[in-house]
Amino acid sequence: MLNKDTFHKDPADYRLANQGVAKIQFPPAPEGLDTLRGELETFVCDGAYAEGLARILEAFLGSVSKGGSAPAVWISGFYGSGKSHLASMLAALWTNPKFADGATAEGLTNLPPQVAAPLKELRIAAQRAGGVVAAGDTLGTGADDPAEATLGIILRAVGLPSDLRAAQVAFWLDDTGILDDVRAELGDGFDTHIRNFILSPKFGTAVLKAKPELAETPRELGSKLQALFPEPPPVTVDLLENMARKALLLGRNELPLTLIVLDEVQQFIRQDPSLTLKIQTLVERLSSRFNGRMLIVGTGQQALSDVPNLQKLLDRFPVQIALGEADIDTVIRKTVLRKKPGAEADIKGMLGKHAGEISRQLHGSKLAHTVNDNDEAVLDWPLLPSRRRVWEHILRELDRTGLGGTLRGQLRTTLDAAKSYGGKPLGHAVPVDFLYGRFSTEAYNAGLLPGETRNRIETLRGGDAKDQNKARILMLVYMLGRISGEADRHGVRSTPETIADLMIVDLGGDAELRKQVPQLLQELFEDGAAIEVQGEWRLQTKESADWENAYRTEVKSVIADQAGLSGKRRQLLSGAIDTALAGAGSVAHGVSKQQRRIHRLEMGDKAPTDGVPLRLRIGWDEDLSSVENEIAGASPIDPTIHLLLPRHRPEDLTREIAAWRAADSVLQLKGVPGTDAGVEAQKAMQSRSSKALSQANELIREAVRQAKVVQAGGKVVNGALAEAAKEAASNALARLYPRFAEGDHAGWSKVFDRGMKKDPDAMKSVDHSGAPETHPVCKAVLAELGPGRKGSYLRTKFTEPEYGWPQDAVDGALVVLANAGVIKVTGEDGKQVSLPDLPRSKIGVCTYRAETTVITVGHRMAARGLLTEAGVHFENGQEAYALSALLEKLENAAKISGGDAPAPAADTLPNAATFKSLSGNDLLAAVSNDAAMLRDKMKAWKAATAKISQRLPAYRTAERMVQLGAEAQKKELDTIKANRQLLSDPDPIPPVISAAADALRERLNAAYESWKKAWDTGEARLASNETWNKLSPEQKHSIREAEKILPLTKPEVDTPASISDSLSQRNFVGWENATKALPTRIDEALASAAILLEPKAQTISLPGSLLKSEQDLEAWLQSARQALKNALATGPVIPKV
């Protein structure tokens, strides 16, 4: 099997309507209609595209109903995200143009209900208004002033010249009542001649032909018009408003619902505040002055809030649509990479077979293949998800450096890749170096690709297989070098292993290539084309070699300066320690919150007389083993805290600091380069400096992360460094009560009071909103209960060392734990009692035990959430009684989450048998423990049920169309049914419907034309018949009804639904029969006409014979003549063969 055999459409035959680059020009020129149709047929109305259209239409319809101001729209997205395409589709759906074969824009698309519904409302609103108008173009391609450019866009949309002076002449022609006559006379040359209205003889002649009294000659008319229409003033916003209103009312009584698309507004504005102000004023005026009937849509690469110069437009564009990578990925997968419904299994099998190779590639990086890629791998094939992510990083880097235009071709690039590798066997993937050919020329022209490197690559590409592999390696070294500055984030570095990973095409047979790559790199090094730097390969030019030699010299010099290295290390350490200990300058002691300063001391500093001393013990300056022994032997009452910072990876740290200082020195020595190669070398050295400093800081941070805080006596305090230091300081202040902090809060008296009132939120008084048993005080009380403890024992235990908590804390904990059902309380008589119902004096004489099966607040909250989401009624505290109804509802939801093919099989309720075997608290605990899983299941079932309801009608439509004659789609529909793919993504049904509609539309149009031809022939016979023409209209109508010679309506074919309806009323056999019957019915009609005029006329059937010769013909003629002669003896005759 070849790669192309898995595609829904062979990539070699796939044609992008707009070459993957959408361009706004609306209304489209006649030559652009085919492109528009192609865009509509491949429009993926899903995700942000569907949500964006729905939001735009709903917001506009709201303004139409209220009048006032229409909310303008801003569509943002990086180059290639489809923002212009979305705007173009909005314009097409807005006006719903009809194509030559009867199809409409709306009928060619597969719109979800969220878009179809407001679009239908738009049509209804347009009937009440003056119809619809859509106008759009790219700002910057015409006039430099935004008001003038916008006016030109509107004028062109209503069929007028975009030139203001010529448009004023057109308005004058309309006021004179001759605009249509002049336009008809000039035909396609109207726009050209009216722009040259002063000197064009044809224009003057056409005007005077329509209204001669205007002037004696065309020249005289030209002079009058020149005086009447001097050069117009600059277009202001006031003039724009007036002229736009006049243009939109041309031939109308009501303002139409108008869409104005201004494409690439951000690119037009650039960083010019004056243009921003003009756009701001223009949008405000047009949005607010047309009774909510004018919608302005602008596009740009970034969201308005992301760019300071665009933030001024935030209030002018309240509806903001943001498109991202996920949206263009969806489009690509549903168009050029769409797979056949039955091919997924083949691809999955192949990917599973080569899972080891795929997982190996880019292993250890953040772009490597993951389990989550498995489903996308099928959709993206022959691109691998890991390689696609590398592409995205490279393309983003190119966009950042000014080559954003190359990203406009993501759809084109993907299609080219699919074409190039479609003819290869399944299992051959697109390598990353394929991308190089898509931007190398632009990168070279922009100075981002050295000419020396480009020429070397081109020379090698023309050589043998070995040289071609060298060229591919250099392409990858160049591209990976572009993203090396972010290597610490994505983990992809230009190593031999990575280069081989990205070059492999045959996932099962390119092992030899891995062995060749290191040797080829070495040969490239010997040729002066590439160089290895700390395990990573980079491009080598003469100038970069000079920089590299200077760098290595500086490294030796820096390493020789040990004092300088030590100073830089202390500088980095000091900064990292400051960051790690941020917020640990003092500590609060007890509820009084006394601030005790923490003094940071270095080696040799004396301890302060106040506060807590924190002594820094640095592994580069001291032997930490000896230090730890010293601390362990210190007095347990010593308040000193020690921070031990290990000597972590000293050689690596020295190397990175040396690299950082050396790179900075080279940058200072070399100054500003004067060549492209020098600029590239400078950027590489800047990247090396930044990377080395980043690595040095990371090594220092690793050392700080390994640091530990130790109290005198050897106790290590764990946790984040700042928190550990504060905790150690608190311990130093409260060694007698090491657990005092756990219960140190002023709110325990409130906890007790609220608990005695059975308040379930009593613990909030000590800032604890979780379950009571998770609080440290309650945990400690529970842990101490054992087989049962008296209240008096517990009070003594927790008010004395090691706790020292107030009695309110102990009593409050006992009350809230009893209220929560976590502990059982028995009185002096051994009977269970309710603690809040007793006087406080009895708390000490009661006995407390832990419950065996405990229903916590967490259990109840989980159950309540599940019951609420399922819509099952319950009462607080009585959740267990509602679980039976809940389980029944869940089982029913599972049953309807699937169904008969093509829907997937229904799911079942997990653990149903276990749930049915439990009751009461046990069941409540079990359901609560599974609440998250059940909630996810419930959402999934609901989503599946809704999706089935949404997609099944479309499937039935496809079935109906196959039954009506779209037999070519039967196999694909049968595959969808057999594999139960109704809920597959992307939706497999729309392509079937689209293909069936196209086939049926063509056949139905042809059937109608055949019938129409037969009808016209029959009508001509009737019209030329003397007898028929003598009949009265009533007689003719009576015969037509009797013989069923009545006109048939042309079938509707604009949408799949209308095609199905038309064929349901009259199928292809019906059309064929109607066509074949017309000649016979015409004969019968003429016979009936003759009988009406000659009542005694008789119909004589002439004999039917097979004539083989002239003799046979003469014999038949004699027989027919005799039969007719005999019949004439008795009256008029109507012969019939």
**Residue 1047 pLDDT > 90, yes or no?**
yes
Lowest mean pLDDT of 2-6, 153-157, 483-487, 808-812, name the range. 483-487
Q: Taking residues 896-921, what's their average pLDDT? A: 88
Q: Cβ(361)–Cβ(368) under 8 Å?
A: yes
pLDDT given at position 307? 76
pLDDT given at position 17? 63
Q: State the DSSP H helix or E strand holding residue 772, giving kind and residue range, or none if neither.
A: none
Say which CATH topology domain 19-26+49-158+250-335 has.
Rossmann fold (3.40.50)
The residue ranking higher by pLDDT, 881 or 1040, is: 1040
Res. 185 pLDDT band, cuts 50 70 90? very high
- Is pTM beyond 0.75? Reply is no
Q: Taking residues 734-753, what's their average pLDDT? A: 83
Amino acid at 1111: Q
The residue ranking higher by pLDDT, 1123 or 1031, is: 1031
pLDDT given at position 738? 74
Domain ranges of the chain: 19-26+49-158+250-335, 162-234, 344-390+419-540, 560-729, 736-854, 858-952, 994-1093, 1100-1136
Handedness of CA 478, 480, 483, 486 (dihedral sign): negative
Q: Cβ(359)–Cβ(351) under 8 Å?
A: no
> Tens digits of per-residue pLDDT, 861-907?
999 999 999 999 986 765 766 888 999 999 999 999 999 999 999 99
Amino acid at 730: S
pLDDT given at position 1099? 76
Q: Which residues are 824's β-sheet partners?
A: 849
Could you tell me the two tokens for 1016? 């016209």
> Tens digits of per-residue pLDDT, 709-740?
999 888 899 988 999 998 898 888 776 567 87
How many C-alpha atoms does 960 have within 13 Å on its Cβ side? 17
Nearest to 645 by CA among 619, 621, 614, 622: 619
For all residues of the chain together, what is the average pLDDT?
A: 88
Res. 407 pLDDT band, cuts 50 70 90? very low
- Most confidently modeled range among 755-759, 776-780, 848-852: 776-780
pLDDT given at position 368? 93
pLDDT given at position 444? 86
pLDDT given at position 15? 76
**Residue 445 pLDDT > 90, yes or no?**
no
**Residue 970 pLDDT > 80, yes or no?**
yes
Q: Name the packing angle between helices 1068-1093 and 989-1024 (round to 10°).
A: 10
Q: Which residues of 966-993 are buried (b: 16+ CB within 10 A; e: fewer)?
A: beebeebbebbbebbbbbbebbbbbbbb
Q: Taking residues 680-703, what's their average pLDDT? A: 86
Res. 1093 pLDDT band, cuts 50 70 90? confident
Q: What angle do CA 103, 902, 993 make, to 5 degrees?
A: 10
Amino acid at 450: P
Res. 451 pLDDT band, cuts 50 70 90? confident
How far, in whole angstroms, is CA 228 from its chain's centroid? 54
Res. 408 pLDDT band, cuts 50 70 90? very low
Res. 1096 pLDDT band, cuts 50 70 90? low
Q: Rounded to the nearest 5°, which phi and psi values hold at 399?
A: -60, -40
Lowest mean pLDDT of 94-108, 221-235, 444-458, name the range. 444-458
Helix residue ranges, H only, 483-561 = 487-490, 496-503, 511-526, 542-560
**Residue 41 pLDDT > 80, yes or no?**
yes
Q: Cβ(601)–Cβ(616) under 8 Å?
A: yes
pLDDT given at position 867? 92
State the Cα–Cα distance between residues 79 and 402, nearest whole angstrom: 11
Q: Taking residues 741-758, what's their average pLDDT? A: 90
Q: Which residues are 295's β-sheet partners?
A: 259
Long-range contacts of 350-359 (CB under 8 A, 24+ apart): 350/426, 350/427, 350/507, 351/377, 351/378, 351/381, 353/427, 353/508, 354/427, 354/507, 354/508, 357/504, 357/507, 357/508, 358/384, 358/386, 358/507
**Residue 509 pLDDT > 90, yes or no?**
no
The CATH class that applies to domain 736-854 reads: mainly alpha
Q: Taking residues 404-413, what's their average pLDDT? A: 59
Q: Cβ(1059)–Cβ(995) under 8 Å?
A: no
pLDDT given at position 592? 43
CA distances from 496 to 16, 134, 547 (A): 37, 55, 23
pLDDT given at position 208? 93
State the Cα–Cα distance between residues 408 and 569, nearest whole angstrom: 47
Q: Taking residues 168-174, what's their average pLDDT? A: 94
Could you tell me the two tokens for 528? 């002066």
Res. 935 pLDDT band, cuts 50 70 90? very high
Q: Rounded to the nearest 5°, which phi and psi values hold at 832?
A: -70, 135
Is it true that 19-26+49-158+250-335 and 736-854 share their CATH fold?
A: no
Helix, strand, coil in percent for the chain, rounding step 5: 60, 10, 30
pLDDT given at position 511? 81
CA distances from 811 to 622, 744, 756, 765, 843 (A): 51, 14, 10, 14, 8
**Residue 1134 pLDDT > 80, yes or no?**
no
Tell me: cis bond preceding 787? Omega within 30 of 0 counts. no
In DSSP notation, 885-951 reads HHHHHHHHHHHTT--STTSPPPP--TTHHHHHT--HHHHHHHHHHTHHHHHHHHHHHHHHHHHHHHH
pLDDT given at position 225? 92
Q: Taking residues 12-41, what's their average pLDDT? A: 79
Res. 830 pLDDT band, cuts 50 70 90? confident
pLDDT given at position 406? 43
- Most confidently modeled range among 90-104, 527-541, 922-936: 90-104
